[in-house]
Structure 1
Amino acid sequence: MHSSSNISPQSGSLLISKPFLQDENFVRSVVLLCENNELGSFGLVLNKLSIFKLDELLEGCELLDKEVYVGGPVEQNTLHFIYQGEKQLEDSVALGEALWWGGSFTELMDKNKLGLVDMADYRFFIGYSGWDTGQLTAELTENTWIVCDNAQAKNIFKSEPDDLWREILKNMGGDFQVLANYPIDPRLN
């Protein structure tokens, strides 16, 4: 079901930052792992809203007053997206049951203009989280992340960004429920 000892998580797994992680890019973050192989790892932070809307970032998206998330600190001039449900775009990569990553943005915009997609099923991200070869494995060995299987992915589209970290830990049960209530700054407790 879930494990924090899995050193080679699969695409579609969630990486949940431990409560004491101090890296400002990943405090209380939930990262959807999109790719994990011998060349490195690629993921998207699911619970950090940017200050932008999609139509502010791209010309020709006037109708898309859609929030955009900060996928991570790497290449924040790039746009990425995930969606839920049936496969809708030819080049999308499956990340588990009813969860997809990427595809042709042009195809998505064309289908949106024709009313063939529900944009509520899509999440957009600027930038991404990246790890070089062996870097994520080292961070997992150091217990920086809790690995959760993709069964929790259904929460991605249902939970408010500020609640996602806590909700996933609570749903994992056991000791993880205790971590969910860990104060942001234990000195203030």
Structure 2
Amino acid sequence: MKPYKGKLLIAEPSILNDSSFNRAIILLTEHTSSNSVGFILNRPLNYSVNDLIPDIDCSFTIYQGGPVEQDNLYFVHKIPDLIPESIEVANGIYWGGNFSSLKDLLNNNLLNESDIRFFLGYSGWSKNQLEDEMNQNSWFIADNDFDNILSIEEENLWKNKLLQKGGNYKLWANAPSDFNLN
């Protein structure tokens, strides 16, 4: 399967020593001939929106989006009718949009956590970099088969995607996250 926006990028077990992407599941929000961008879905941080932006009264969890521009906040959502200027990723999932509108929605308690997910930083690849990494068995692509990817349980997400892929991946799915504990 080839990478396309809206697909999931799953870290192969072979990159377990990569601290940035170990066991990562990434939603690709852009994939062109010149670059790729995505956000790690299964890395919640110990921050809420209000921790980072005090004038927004919102306790939604912030996720680590990736190692690039970790001082910037990004968001993916499913409410383009409420957040103008959003970019459609695929299948009712949108990226970004008008921040003033978002701020008003959050401060007026008009959004649920299942409507939106926030990320510090993003995951990015330059021209041909992602394909090169896939050829080196660092990633595989999966369909986004979730009803609402913004409300998924992230704790066992990587394990479940490996079990779903089957074959030798089933063995890796149950491997400890820290081999030193084995």
TM-score normalized with structure 1 length = 0.83
SS for the counterpart of 1:167 is helix
Q: 1:82 aligns with which of 76, 79, 82?
A: 76
State how far apart, in whole Å, the 1-side matches of 2:19 and 2:88 are.
Answer: 29
Match of 2:44 in 1: 49
Counterpart residue type for residue 181 of structure 1? N
Letter in 1 for 2:157: L
Question: In 1, distance between residues paired with 2:170 and 2:178?
Answer: 18
Any unmatched runs of 5+ in structure 2? none
Q: Do the aligned residues in 2 keep the contact of 1:152 with 1:168 (CA within 8 Å)?
A: no
Gaps of 5+ in 1: 1-5
Gap change, CA 1:77 and 1:34, over 3 Å in 2: same
- Is 1:33 the counterpart of 2:3 in the alignment? no
CA deviations on 1:65-117 (whole Å, 9 max, x unpaired) are 12111101111111111123665322222222232221112111223344443
Per the alignment, in what secondary structure is the counterpart of residue 117 of structure 1? Answer: coil
Listed one character per residue, the Cα deviations across residues 12-53 of structure 1 (whole Å, up to 9, x for unaligned) are 111110123121000011011110112211111111122322
Separation in structure 1 between the aligned mates of residue 50 and residue 181 of structure 2, nearest angstrom:
40
Give the equivalent residue in structure 2 for 1:184. 177
What TM-score do you get using the length of structure 2 for normalisation?
0.86
| Matches of 1:59 and 1:99, distance apart in 2 | 27
Give secondary structure in 2 for the equivalent of 1:38. coil
SS at match of 2:28: strand
- Which residue type is aligned with residue 174 of structure 2? N
- Contact 2:82 / 2:101 at 8 angstroms: preserved in 1? no
Percent pairwise identity: 34
Within the alignment, does 1:162 sit opposite 2:174 as a pair?
no
How many pairs does the alignment contain?
181
Q: Is 1:15 matched up with 2:9?
A: yes
* Aligned amino acid, residue 83 of structure 2: L
**CA distance change for structure 1 residues 116 and 51 in 2, over 3 Å: closer, same or farther?**
closer
Say if 1:153 and 1:58 are closer, same or farther in 2 by CA, change over 3 A. same
2:65: which partner in 1? 71
Distance 1:85 1:158, change over 3 A: farther
- Asked whether the equivalents of residues 19 and 182 of structure 1 are also in contact (C-alpha less than 8 Å), the reply is no
